[in-house]
Structure 1
């Protein structure tokens, strides 16, 4: 049996997720901003001598990413490996097309990049990473987003509660099977550490409006607690929620969050990646004076956790007020700008009744000649009197769920009836997402066959 890495040797790992490459903001492409993040991340990984990178899902924003998004992703992987990172583990998120991520995985594996898009076979989700000498150095439970159809079989006449219970049971059973196999591996290799990954919604997780976080399961079901992840795991790297946060008060179970603000509601957030240093030997936690966090459970190995703030590559700012107040704010913003200032993207909300064309004309005029750009002007009527004006954000600015909730309100649907309607709507959305993924896979297969 090959021995593990030398005793007391800390392995440096970086956790990130939810890149959403190819994402638009009010129709504006963000690839330059995303590429700036990737350049920063490559430099950080070199400076910190990162040995393993964990990407916990939602690499792309859609199931059919464009060529530029794909090129940015593959270029990053190659440059990260060339820069000294020996292992990269990528799991699929609910936005990702499993077939797109999985297509080149055999080639990527030769470079040290492991791509996991399903967990039908629990053994395939348990990775044993090895050093250059072939010695085991880390076990990773690489659990991707688990789809509804993978977790339960629909049954005629089942209630909303039945579906929730079966989803939770299926989710817990799948994670238990994967974690069980990992535990057997580390028990057979004294000194070997294990890390888990997941793309899910933990109960109590924080979100904000317009962040693009889709419900993973019908009606928002199957939210799990931190107890899904056993104490013997050194760390759990989660994806899906865009706000960096810990789960259940456990510092070693956390979301890295998205690296960029997904919408204007996230503009003030501090975005992060997380650096983890795992001791390859200890079976009992020691007393570390780390600046951030050290796991406290007595049966858990020492692990140092250090969140690293990500620079802001594109400033976002939301302004709200009367037409005169917005004009004054834009004039001030324009006056303060210098030629070296990067453009600020603006979301404006006018709270008085006026002609939309007049509002647009005056606000664009106030900002003319500055580097800043207005992405959208929302109209929110102030008071009940005066001329008519559309109230609230446009359909393009709302998520599918927000549109449905507004429809329920507009139609006066009783609250008692809404749970079942949300359930049905969630099922339709999920089928649509999965159909899009299947169609993208079919097009990809057809293109390969035509080129053969």
Structure 2
């Protein structure tokens, strides 16, 4: 059985005034090619198909077109809901998509048996059993209790998620036995695990989200396909617990990452191997730093990666000269005539100014409260530990406000 593990597409993302439509379209076309070339039996997308709960129409069209194209390849598709996905929107078409060899699990099901799925190879024979676990919201597994501390809520959520995994694994073992006992068991998840390394584009947009789920709480599945963290990585160095990461850089601090999807080969004996498929870079994205005397050479070097049709998107951190009030026109002059666009200017002392060529077109009506907080936080140059602390305090305040009577 060969699985292709992907996640965190974030279709419809609006990045500092720029659409990612062309990148996503190119990625999905490339993915179809890989499924055909690698003879993939099933494609598993571990959450965050869309960037928001109300994605633009072109993003939904990309999603639907991909499903139709993938069906022609002969591979199954398994779609798990993420914290950015709308449960209602993903779920509204699941019955229709089932006719196109696509199964969608937008949220925790009322009947857990619905989350235990048999995956088939290209000949139609059972090849693996999947514990299909999407992003778990507290309301899916917990009953709210008055007077609970934030720490108690966090611990209870962690315990409830562990129990959910164990229950589904037990059901999967029973189904395996019913089918002859020779199939490997796979699990999914859309959460943060202990030791996972995140990036600035990863943001929790639901109050009460789990900060870090201990790796030891996962069941002994042959492979655990995770989403939510955009940096591809093994969890705790373990071969069988992996984040594949996002297929395109979703923030400037991901610009140097080699994005990837994972080919996972399994037999009745369990996991055989995991093969990395590097995703091509469809849009040059770079972060530069230096003084005004150093930046011309850096910008000229960066321009070599761009074309008139696809200019390089730049974030520029100005050092030494960051006190100047006219950074924008100075950088405008340095970029004149080059295939580059500066989307964000940052000063070494921690302030940021809008990009030169593309001011954001988003309005407050288009953003959630958490989106506004995340964007404001992204404009600061803070240590990761400080950012995590601020996010935690923000979530605590929002949680307390949500509990107040109307």
Q: Could you state the TM-score of these two structures normalised by the residue count of structure 2?
A: 0.84
Query: Who is 2:278 aligned against?
Result: 309
Q: How far is the alpha carbon of 1:101 from its aligned partner?
A: 0.8
1:36 aligns with 2:8: no
CA distance in 2, matches of 1:183, 1:275: 24
CA distance in 2, matches of 1:330, 1:249: 37
Deviations 1:298-324 (A, max 9, x none): xxx242211111111111111122233
1:244 aligns with 2:232: yes
CA contact (8 A) 1:241 1:257 kept: yes
CA distance in 2, matches of 1:418, 1:344: 32
The 1:426/1:184 distance shift into structure 2, 3 A limit, reads: farther
Query: Who is 1:425 aligned against?
Result: 397
Query: Who is 1:13 aligned against?
Result: 3
Deviations 1:48-105 (A, max 9, x none): 01110000000000000011000111101110111221x1100100000011111111
1:103 aligns with 2:92: yes
CA contact (8 A) 2:158 2:213 kept: yes
Aligned ranges 1:24-173 → 2 under 5 Å: 24-85=14-75, 87-119=76-108, 120-130=110-120, 135-173=125-163
Q: How far is the alpha carbon of 1:137 from its aligned partner?
A: 2.7
Superposed CA RMSD: 3.1
Deviations 1:162-203 (A, max 9, x none): 112211111111111111111111122221222111111111
Query: Who is 2:373 aligned against?
Result: 400
Deviations 1:84-127 (A, max 9, x none): 21x11001000000111111111110111000012232111111
The 1:214/1:429 distance shift into structure 2, 3 A limit, reads: farther
Q: How far is the alpha carbon of 1:349 from its aligned partner?
A: 2.2
Aligned length: 380
The 1:31/1:401 distance shift into structure 2, 3 A limit, reads: closer
Query: Who is 1:326 aligned against?
Result: 295
The 1:23/1:419 distance shift into structure 2, 3 A limit, reads: closer
CA contact (8 A) 2:41 2:122 kept: no
Partner SS state of residue 114, structure 1: strand
CA contact (8 A) 1:213 1:241 kept: no
* 2:187 alignment partner, one of 196, 199, 202: 196
Q: Could you state the TM-score of these two structures normalised by the residue count of structure 1?
A: 0.76
Q: How far is the alpha carbon of 1:340 from its aligned partner?
A: 7.8
Partner SS state of residue 58, structure 1: coil
Q: How far is the alpha carbon of 1:425 from its aligned partner?
A: 2.8
CA distance in 1, matches of 2:390, 2:301: 46
CA distance in 1, matches of 2:379, 2:314: 25
* Structure 1 unaligned spans of 5+: 1-10, 283-300, 382-389, 410-416, 432-452
- Between 96-105 and 396-405, report the one with greater CA deviation: 396-405
Q: How far is the alpha carbon of 1:136 from its aligned partner?
A: 2.9
CA contact (8 A) 1:62 1:96 kept: yes
CA distance in 1, matches of 2:130, 2:305: 48
* Structure 2 unaligned spans of 5+: 363-370, 383-388
CA distance in 2, matches of 1:84, 1:76: 13
Q: How far is the alpha carbon of 1:214 from its aligned partner?
A: 2.1
CA distance in 2, matches of 1:123, 1:316: 44
The 1:215/1:71 distance shift into structure 2, 3 A limit, reads: closer
Q: How far is the alpha carbon of 1:223 from its aligned partner?
A: 1.9
1:359 aligns with 2:291: no
Query: Who is 2:367 aligned against?
Result: none
Q: How far is the alpha carbon of 1:343 from its aligned partner?
A: 1.8
Larger Rg: 1
Query: Who is 1:378 aligned against?
Result: 346
The 1:61/1:183 distance shift into structure 2, 3 A limit, reads: same
Partner SS state of residue 293, structure 2: helix
1:229 aligns with 2:198: no
CA distance in 1, matches of 2:144, 2:255: 40
Q: How far is the alpha carbon of 1:154 from its aligned partner?
A: 2.1
CA contact (8 A) 1:225 1:247 kept: no
